[in-house]
Each structure stands twice: as C-alpha cells, then as structure tokens.
Amino acid sequence: MSTRLTTAVKSPWFLIVGGIVAILSLVAALTGSVPELSKSRTKATSLVAEPVNKQFVTDFALPLNAPIDQMPQTDAGFYCDTGMIEWLRRFGTEVPPYQRISIRSAAEDGSMLVVDNLRAVDVNRYEPQPVMHFQCPDGGNADAAVLELRLDRDRKAQELVADSPAGTRPFAFNLEPGEQGNLELRMTSDDTYSYSGRIVADVSAGTTKETVSLPLNGEDAGKFDRIGLGKYARLVVAPGRTKNQFQCVLYPVGFTKWHPTNESFDDLFDCSAEKVRSVLAEIGRSS
C-alpha cells in the first residue's frame, strides 16, 4: 500500500492534477466560485425597454368628415374592441394618450443601472389639420412612475409626485441587476401645434453613460407624433351604448381634456353622429 502511494505521488500526472486544483482554488479565493464568472455584469447596454401600453386604450385624431355613423359597434361596453380599433386606424391617426414603457436590467450581477434625463429630441413643430378627438378610455392605471413632458417648453421629463410642494421632481430610476420597472410618459403641449420626434434617456452603469432611444407605442415605435387638435380639442368622443350612439364631453372655451379647468368637470352626455357633427360645426364657427 505504501509503495503504491509513493508511486502515485511521484507520478507526473499527480503533480499536474495537483497544480490544476491549486490554481482553481486560488482563482476561487480571489474572484469567487467558477459559476459566478459566467454572470453578466451591469453595463450601460444592459437596459431592455419595450412599449407596454394597454390593449385598446388609446386616442385617435379623425378627420371632421369621418363617417363615424359607419363605425362598428363595440362588444366591450364603453370601451374599444378589435373591430373598432381597426376602423379607427383606417380612417384616423393614432395618438396614444400616454407612453407606458417597461424597463429592465438584463445584468445578473454588478452595480445598479441608472436611467435619467428622459427627454424629447429631434422635435418638429407643425401646423395641425382640423380633426376630432376620439378616445378609447382606460379602465384604471397600473403601478408606474408617472412622468410629464412638455413639448412646448424645455422638453425634459419630470416625475409627478403627490407629496412634493412643486408636484414634480427630477426623474431618475435605479434598477438592480434583473430588476424591472414601468414608466408612464405623458406628453403635453399647447393645442395650437402638432409635434413629432423621439424620446431618449441617459443610461449609466458606474462611470459609463450612454444615451438610448426608447421604443414607443403607436404606429411607429421609433418616434412619437402628437397631433394638436386646436379648438376642436374641446370635444371628446368615446364609444357609446349602441351603434351610432357615442358618449361625449364638451369642455368650456379655452379648456380641453389635456388642459382641464381647476374645477371638476365631467359633463358626459349621449351623442349621435349627427350631434357630433353639429357640435364640431358650432366649434368651427367660434373664434
């Protein structure tokens, strides 16, 4: 037995295997266990973003002469369904009321990923055409960091907070490795002009920072197109109880859904296609 052990110890293979074990032990002591080395660490490119607006919750800008009396009746009560959305897309332009974006850190290890300085870039301002506002309403909000971005001002998003005297604060979102969060971006402006452009944010990991474009909901994920409704924004049309029957809200002169009065205003009334055209004509005659 002693002779065999002595022979094994003197074998060159014993020395090689022993050396490998020693090296692996040293590596594990310095950097952690071998499986840890395969984990992806946080870097600026670890951000994964995708648009996640609720299905059938959106707005449309329709021509004033759109044949809304031919719009298919929804099977979803006072909400839009597939058939109605397809009709609206055929005759109008989709204008999502908000942009809900899911963000996630694809890293498995390392530092936090910081997303901040969300802003609009490459913004173009142009004259809108007369259109009516058709709304596919929301049944409630999911948990998300709510941001407001004024396209007619500094074009940098601020987070809306209830417990702040100013009502807003600078936006920053920290993601641990593997963590996910949701952003709800509300783009607003005066109703005199339409705006198009892209939404970007700065993404930082340690001392590395990159600017990335965020994907958006709507007809083109690469850009937004917020159509100004002008004076016709006072009227909001939504699905009703039956075919050719809608629900409408008419805001006072100088106010819209996007710029409501300080007082509670929800004067909802049933309106036919003829009534919608009559109200639009009345608004058109006003100054």
Mean pLDDT value across residues 262-281? 81
Calculate what percentage of the chain has a pLDDT beyond 90: 47
Q: What digits encode the pLDDT tens for the residues 24-35? A: 555 455 544 444
Q: Which of 15-19, 52-56, 166-170, 227-231 has the lowest mean pLDDT?
A: 15-19
As a whole number of angstroms, the distance between CA 194 and CA 233 comes to: 12
* pLDDT higher than threshold 90 for residue 18: no
Q: What is the pLDDT of residue 237?
A: 95
Q: What digits encode the pLDDT tens for the residues 241-265? A: 888 889 999 988 777 665 555 544 5
- Confidence band, pLDDT 50/70/90 cuts, at residue 49: very high
As a whole number of angstroms, the distance between CA 53 and CA 85 comes to: 14
The tally of CA atoms less than 13 A away on the side-chain side of residue 99 is 33
Q: Which residue has the higher pLDDT, 3 or 145?
A: 145
Mean pLDDT value across residues 221-226? 88
Q: What is the pLDDT of residue 277?
A: 95
Mean pLDDT value across residues 232-239? 92
Q: Which residue has the higher pLDDT, 104 or 54?
A: 104
Inside any domain, residue 175: yes
- The values of phi and psi at residue 173, to 5°, are -130, 120
Inside any domain, residue 20: no
Inside any domain, residue 2: no
H or E stretch covering 103: strand 99-105
> For 45, which DSSP code?
G
Q: Which of 9-23, 59-73, 225-239, 242-256 has the lowest mean pLDDT?
A: 9-23
As a whole number of angstroms, the distance between CA 207 and CA 141 comes to: 35
Q: What is the pLDDT of residue 63?
A: 95
* pLDDT higher than threshold 70 for residue 99: yes
Q: What is the pLDDT of residue 218?
A: 78
* pLDDT higher than threshold 90 for residue 71: yes
Q: Which of 114-123, 162-171, 264-273 has the lowest mean pLDDT?
A: 264-273
Inside any domain, residue 270: yes
Q: What is the pLDDT of residue 17?
A: 47
Inside any domain, residue 27: no
Inside any domain, residue 86: yes
Which among 170, 225, 226 has a CA at the least distance from the CA of 201? 170
Inside any domain, residue 208: yes
Q: 3-state class of 243 per DSSP? A: coil
Q: Which residue has the higher pLDDT, 191 or 200?
A: 200
Query: Mean pLDDT across the chain, nearest whole number?
Result: 82
Q: What is the pLDDT of residue 287?
A: 62
Q: What digits encode the pLDDT tens for the residues 108-157? A: 888 999 999 999 999 999 988 899 999 998 765 556 889 999 998 889 99
* pLDDT higher than threshold 70 for residue 13: no
The range of the structural domain enclosing residue 223 comes to: 44-285
Q: What is the pLDDT of residue 259?
A: 56
Inside any domain, residue 237: yes
**Structurally, how many domains does the chain consist of?**
1
Return the structure tokens found at 208: 């590395």
Q: Token pair 């004509």 is at which residue? A: 281
Residues across the chain: 287
**What distances in angstroms separate CA 277 from CA 63, 124, 235, 248, 274, one per listed residue?**
11, 31, 11, 12, 5
Sign of CA dihedral 260, 263, 268, 272: negative
